[in-house]
Amino acid sequence: MNREGLVKTPERAAKAWQFLTSGYDQDPAQIIRSAVFEEEYDGMILVHNIEFYSLCEHHLLSFFGKAHIAYLPSGRIVGLSKLPRVVDALSRRLQVQERITKQIADVLEETLSPIGIAVQIEAAHLCMMIRGVEKQHSLTTTSAFRGVFTTDRVLLDSFFNGIRNGSTQRIDPQFQAL
């Protein structure tokens, strides 16, 4: 315990845990509300490949991956940087992937009231990779859909194409792909 590399380990570990759980001190809804703008835009807004790191509440091991968020606005948009900030605020808590996926959709629904919301998260879980089943290449995918994303297959396909290819089809106000 007196080795040079270990002497300050408790202090460093405490600081690391403070950072890794700093999301409890942030209000995701307030993050969105800080940059809402009235704008008549009728296309899908997609921010994808948002990297995140979180801690599994079951084993206190990391899980990490990418979040993809899309919404179809109803007269209000949010500053683009706020979506990754919401992901960070929610992921810097003891979490499960299913909950964080739902929470992202919930905060967008609460703050923007968009016509539709789509959230997909793909993550690798150290609790599955380095212990238990030890499957290093497995990924878990979760999703939450609200509004027109639950009924309009063209819109949903555009979301998935945007994740895969980096672009979406333009959607007109009647939600038909152009």
Q: Which residues are catalytic?
A: 56-59, 97, 125, 127
Closest CA to 91 of 34, 36, 26, 29: 26
Positive or negative: CA dihedral 121, 122, 124, 125: positive
Rg (CA), the chain: 19
Contacts of 128 (CB under 8 A, 6+ apart): 134, 135, 138
